[in-house]
Amino acid sequence: TPAVNLSSLWLAPGDVVVSQRRGSTTTDTENAGNVNTLKGVKTAVLINAGSASASEITALALRDHDAATIIGETSYGKGVVQQLFPFADGSSLKVTVAKWYSPKGTNINKTGVKPDKEVKLTEDDYKNGTDSQLSAAEAYLNQ
């Protein structure tokens, strides 16, 4: 998946990126591959209320493995696996078939990923074309 491929750039081969559970049973675990070219590089991940699904998986995997600091606002909170079942008449049914969990067992469905450093975009940011979240990430990376 894109989240596993991206996370693999920072994580050791075999590190858990995400697992899926139905009830208390783990049905699938996805692990980092062998492309950790950014392992050990100081990293900031920016998130906001529009960050969902794969971006949340990536952010949590990197934080759980101490590979990144999350900066910004609480994310959307899509912590479920859904499957689409099409019907002959062109309609379809989307069904939640599992929940996904971070390497440390966190499911963020409906709560979102809370950043390590909360930075909100302000009305002044919008008016002035500035980005306080990006500025906070740059400051963190330059410490």
The residues pairing with 72 across neighbouring beta strands, listed in sequence order, are 47, 118
Is 42 an annotated catalytic residue?
A: no
**Burial label, 90 (beta-carbon count in 10 A; 0-12, 13-18, 19+):** exposed
| Catalytic member of 7, 8, 19, 53 | 53
* CB contact at 8 A, 76 and 50: yes
| Catalytic member of 7, 15, 19, 64 | 64
Is 78 an annotated catalytic residue?
A: yes
Is 53 an annotated catalytic residue?
A: yes
| Catalytic member of 7, 8, 78, 102 | 78
Beta strands 117-118 and 69-72, pairing class: parallel
Q: Which residues are catalytic?
A: 53, 64, 78
